[in-house]
């Protein structure tokens, strides 16, 4: 790892833009550095949207090149596949790509064994969007560069519809939309939070059932921020049952037999970027969530 230092000469530039320019990395890579506290302004970590001022001293810890992940024979259910892309049903507990603490045994390692070389960032090839390790369900993976670029544009334009099922604490309204900016928590830098100056984030939900202590929701993220659904529902007073980071009632998770957040990516709908076919895919909730839901229905 090396350290870069530079004194900013002009004011008004976003921190992620300044870091990308100074370190010679993409803006996405700059954002990752900022989020991991590898960037400091005058010795203090700041958010991506911080506006640098003339005279600010940037300190950037630049990691060395990451080793490319190796193929590993890890079974992952495939819901759809053609020559351009595939959609997998990621099991809960499977980390999406290698990272500190998880150098192997990830979804990316499994995909490389199945599909060979994939496009995009060498450390997370083919990955168009992510699911948290504890979240199960549908994920799109690109198999060639043309599909990768097109899928990223569809995601940025919010033309990929994603539907989740979540069991939350408390009785929610029948439906609603949460519109609140999400960013790095100022108190816990490894957590996200609703914060002034965060990135715009919107989440719509509809109640499918109410069971006294809990409610089952159909959730649609209208933007794609880190931990968005978990953060928004917790901020609204309805944290996801079993969420050890943003939840509140740990006894409830134990009561329902949950060992991870009750959050499942149940549906995907989008226009295939190459064939223009309309794809609408669904994945039933796995057995552990099915058991927890049955317990919730009888624990009024």
pLDDT tens for each residue of 140-185: 999 999 999 999 999 989 999 999 999 999 999 999 999 999 988 8
Residue 233 lies in a domain: yes
Domain shared by 122 and 177, yes or no: no
Domain shared by 125 and 53, yes or no: no
CATH of the domain at 32: 3.10.290.10
Distance (Å, whole) CA 243 – CA 137 = 16
Distance (Å, whole) CA 267 – CA 79 = 11
Residue 169 lies in a domain: yes
Domain shared by 181 and 291, yes or no: yes
Residue 227 lies in a domain: yes
Average pLDDT in the 37-50 region? Answer: 90
Catalytic residues: 132
DSSP 105: S
Q: Give the rounded distance of the alpha carbon of 249 from its chain centre.
A: 23
Q: Is the pLDDT of residue 240 over 90?
A: yes
Residue 9 lies in a domain: yes
CATH of the domain at 139: 3.30.2350.10
Per-residue pLDDT, 132: 93
**Any bridge partners for residue 39, and if so which?**
60
Average pLDDT in the 104-120 region? Answer: 90
How many structural domains comprise the chain?
3
Backbone angles phi, psi at 123, to 5 degrees: -85, -15
- Where is the domain boundary, 126, 157, 188? 157
Distance (Å, whole) CA 210 – CA 62 = 49
Domain shared by 51 and 132, yes or no: no
Residue 222 lies in a domain: yes
Domain shared by 257 and 196, yes or no: yes
Give the residue numbers spanning the domain of 122. Answer: 78-157
């Amino acid at each position: 790892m090396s350290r870069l230092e530079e004194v900013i000469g002009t004011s008004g530039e976003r921190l992620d833009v300044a870091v990308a320019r100074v370190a010679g990395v993409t803006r996405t890579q700059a954002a990752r550095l900022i989020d991991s506290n590898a960037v400091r302004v005058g010795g203090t970590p700041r958010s991506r949207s911080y506006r640098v001022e003339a005279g600010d001293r940037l300190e950037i810890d630049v990691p060395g090149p990451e080793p490319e992940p190796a193929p590993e024979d890890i079974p992952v259910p495939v819901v759809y596949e053609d020559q351009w892309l595939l959609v997998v049903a990621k099991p809960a507990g499977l980390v999406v790509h290698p990272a500190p603490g998880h150098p192997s045994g990830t979804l990316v390692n499994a995909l490389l064994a199945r599909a060979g070389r994939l496009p995009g960032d060498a450390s997370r090839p083919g990955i168009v969007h992510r699911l948290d390790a504890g979240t199960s369900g549908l994920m799109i993976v690109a198999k060639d560069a043309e599909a990768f670029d097109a899928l990223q544009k569809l995601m940025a334009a919010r033309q990929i519809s994603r539907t989740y099922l979540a069991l939350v604490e408390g009785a929610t309204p029948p439906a609603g939309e949460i519109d609140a900016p999400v960013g790095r928590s100022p108190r816990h830098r490894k957590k996200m939070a609703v914060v002034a100056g965060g990135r715009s984030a919107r989440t719509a939900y509809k109640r499918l059932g109410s069971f006294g202590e809990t409610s089952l929701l159909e959730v649609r993220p209208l933007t794609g921020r880190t931990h968005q659904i978990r953060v928004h529902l917790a901020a609204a007073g309805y944290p996801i049952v079993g969420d050890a980071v943003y939840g509140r009632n740990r006894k409830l998770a134990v009561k329902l037999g949950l060992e991870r957040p009750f959050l499942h990516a149940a549906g995907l709908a989008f226009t295939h970027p190459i064939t223009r076919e309309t794809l609408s895919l669904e994945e039933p909730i796995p057995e552990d969530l099915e058991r927890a839901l049955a317990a919730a229905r009888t624990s009024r």
